[in-house]
Amino acid sequence: MSSGARWWLLSDLHLGVSDDDPRSPGRMLAEFLRREVPASSGGQQHVAFVGDTFELAGLAEHESQSRLKSILARHPATFQALEACAARGVQLHFLCGNHDADLARPSVAACLSALLSPLEPTRVRVHPWILHVPHVLVAEHGHQHYALHRTPEVLRVAVSDTDELHLPPLAAWHAHPSRSRLRRAGAVARACVGSERAERRIRQPAYDELLQTESLRLALDGDTVRDLARLSRFRTVSAIPATAIRMVRRRTGRAVSGEEAPAAAGSITRTLAAHGFGVAWYVSGHTHRAIESTVTASTTRYVNTGTWSSDVRGPGPDQSDRRAFPHAVIDVDSDGATSGGLRYWRPDGG
């Protein structure tokens, strides 16, 4: 690496067609980008959105494009700030989460690039699954390791505008139009069957071809990508009881708010290291709980970038101060050494 680079990573803004979140994540993002992210020379400044940036999932292809345009129109300050970043040479990365999975569709990803950087579309990149920077970081939204949010065949959506992914179980519950709990439970049961079938399909040769193509984009070998894709697995027999316990804990105010890296972080970083692709940082979102910690039995540091929405979870400073917005900053010097970690930005400069 001839010169240094800086990465800003944040997640879970949940920007939708309404603008009623009291925390105003879109407006705050615009201020953050304007104040904190300078012009880039040589493509060395990167802003990565680690999933659930938009409320954009489960739509038909033409509806996804229309919804994306409506969201950006509803948040003009955000739109303009992202445009300005791309125009001054900053590389924008969008990872797909469970709320914006449709962003991975080729036509939708192209629409986003054309909107934000019409003159240099390559300054906007969509990552359907993970982002890998060799020896520096690996980032993913993280929902693939939670059974009721998991979509095993995530790469299918990145190669087709027409292939439909089945809804994961929790999304099936929320998406079902009926108020009847029995009918919604039936939708969840069908989604569980679909998830089990999808898990079997990703172990077949046809999906291996998608993984091989993805390995080239990720600068990893095929065996590594295949192992990463199969680290987590949906199993109905374990997913439903675990979810029931989680729901009870949340309703009674006893939800777990751990300060440690999840087990998946260790599995991922150790898998990468075993194949010779160790990284200094593993970054995820999804839980809305911002933390930084060590990864067990690994030299990798873990950062969860929390959320910029009002649905803050966990005991971090953003719980008591709603003007504190979590993100990760990772600096890479000219020798490839890294530094940084979890940070909190406040619009008042505090």
Cα separation, 214 vs 217, in Å, equals 5
Non-local (6+) Cβ contacts of 239 within 8 A are: 147, 148, 169, 192
Residue 277 located in a structural domain: yes
Residue 339 located in a structural domain: yes
Q: Which two tokens stand for residue 344?
A: 């909190």
Q: Which of 322, 300, 348, 345 is nearest to 132 (CA)?
A: 300
C-alpha Rg value of the chain to the nearest Å = 19
CA angle 308, 164, 159 (to 5 degrees): 85
Burial of 166 (0-12, 13-18, 19+ CB in 10 A): middle
Q: pLDDT (tens digit, 9 = 90+) per residue, 178-237?
A: 677 777 777 778 888 888 888 888 888 999 999 999 999 999 999 999 999 999 887 777
Residue 125 located in a structural domain: yes
Per-residue pLDDT band at 248 (split at 50, 70, 90): low
List residues bridging with 299 in a β-sheet. Answer: none
Residue 241 located in a structural domain: no
**Contacts of 337-344 spanning 24+ positions with Cβ under 8 A:** 338/136, 338/137, 338/280, 338/281, 340/7, 340/281, 341/292, 341/301, 341/303, 342/290, 342/291, 342/292, 342/303, 342/305, 344/290, 344/317, 344/318
Cα separation, 305 vs 215, in Å, equals 25
- Residue 255: what pLDDT? 54
Contact 32, 85 (CB under 8 A): no
325-332: strand order across its sheet: 124-127, 91-95, 45-50, 5-10, 325-332, 338-345
Q: pLDDT (tens digit, 9 = 90+) per residue, 40-91?
A: 766 699 999 999 999 987 666 678 899 999 999 999 999 999 999 999 999 9
- Residue 297: what pLDDT? 84
- Residue 2: what pLDDT? 47
Looking up residue 64, the CATH number of its domain turns out to be: 3.60.21.10
Contact 196, 237 (CB under 8 A): no
Cα separation, 300 vs 277, in Å, equals 12
φ/ψ of 52, rounded to 5, equals: 55, 40
Residue 202 located in a structural domain: no
Cα separation, 280 vs 89, in Å, equals 25
Cα separation, 279 vs 255, in Å, equals 31
* Count of structural domains, the chain: 1
Contact 199, 234 (CB under 8 A): yes
- Residue 1: what pLDDT? 37
Burial of 46 (0-12, 13-18, 19+ CB in 10 A): buried
Mean pLDDT for 11-20 is: 94
Q: Is 282 helix (H, G, I), strand (E, B) or coil?
A: strand
Residue 129 located in a structural domain: yes
Cα separation, 264 vs 320, in Å, equals 28
CA angle 222, 280, 10 (to 5 degrees): 95
Contact 343, 326 (CB under 8 A): yes
Q: pLDDT (tens digit, 9 = 90+) per residue, 75-133?
A: 999 999 999 999 999 999 999 999 999 999 999 999 999 999 999 999 999 999 999 99
Cα separation, 116 vs 237, in Å, equals 44
State which residues form the domain around 298: 5-164+222-229+257-345
- Residue 75: what pLDDT? 96
Higher pLDDT, 302 or 245: 302
Residue 106 located in a structural domain: yes
Mean pLDDT for 165-180 is: 69
Residue 275 located in a structural domain: yes
Alpha carbon of 24 to those of 18, 21, 319: distances in Å?
11, 5, 15
